[in-house]
């Protein structure tokens, strides 16, 4: 029995070039576009199941900000990071407190919307 579908890892770290963000024109949007496509396929295949939005591994701070703001609208959000990203570039590793606060605010809004919808 299944109660939730996981969208799977954002990047394929075990493959050559696996740390590279999916292509798009604005940093961070390739991740959102890729994962949104996966969420739509999952919802189409199994509309009765929850979607686990996943979120590991992200290639950059821009992708972190974009994906953490988008994932709550696609499924059950996840947070795989507490203080830094697991990326090769040391300058991209530390997650600024403002980004973590923005994530908390976005998810609080999502919880509030779910609570209102459940009443």
Mean pLDDT, residues 59-66 taken together: 89
pLDDT at 55 over 70: yes
Considering its fold, how many domains does the chain have in total?
1
Mean pLDDT, residues 52-62 taken together: 87
Which residues, 6 or more positions from 59, have their beta carbon under 8 angstroms from its beta carbon? 10, 11, 19, 20, 21, 31, 87
Mean pLDDT, residues 56-74 taken together: 88
Q: What is the pLDDT of residue 15?
A: 64
Q: What is the pLDDT of residue 51?
A: 92
pLDDT band at 110 (very low <50, low <70, confident <90, very high): confident
Q: Residue 53: which domain range?
A: 4-118
pLDDT in tens, 3-51: 899 988 887 666 666 667 777 767 778 889 889 999 999 999 999 999 9
pLDDT in tens, 80-109: 888 999 888 899 899 999 999 988 888 888
By CB atoms closer than 10 A (0-12, 13-18, 19+), residue 59 is: buried
């Amino acid at each position: 029995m299944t109660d939730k579908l996981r969208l799977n890892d954002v990047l394929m770290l075990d493959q050559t070039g696996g740390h590279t963000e999916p292509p798009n024109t604005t940093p961070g949007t390739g991740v959102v576009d890729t994962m949104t496509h996966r969420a739509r396929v999952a919802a189409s295949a199994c509309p009765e199941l929850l979607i686990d939005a996943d979120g590991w591994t992200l290639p950059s701070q821009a992708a972190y900000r974009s994906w953490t703001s988008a994932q709550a609208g696609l499924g059950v959000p996840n947070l795989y990071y507490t203080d830094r990203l697991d990326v090769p570039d040391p300058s991209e590793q530390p997650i600024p407190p403002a980004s973590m606060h923005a994530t908390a605010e976005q998810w609080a809004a999502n919880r509030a919307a779910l609570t209102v919808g459940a009443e």
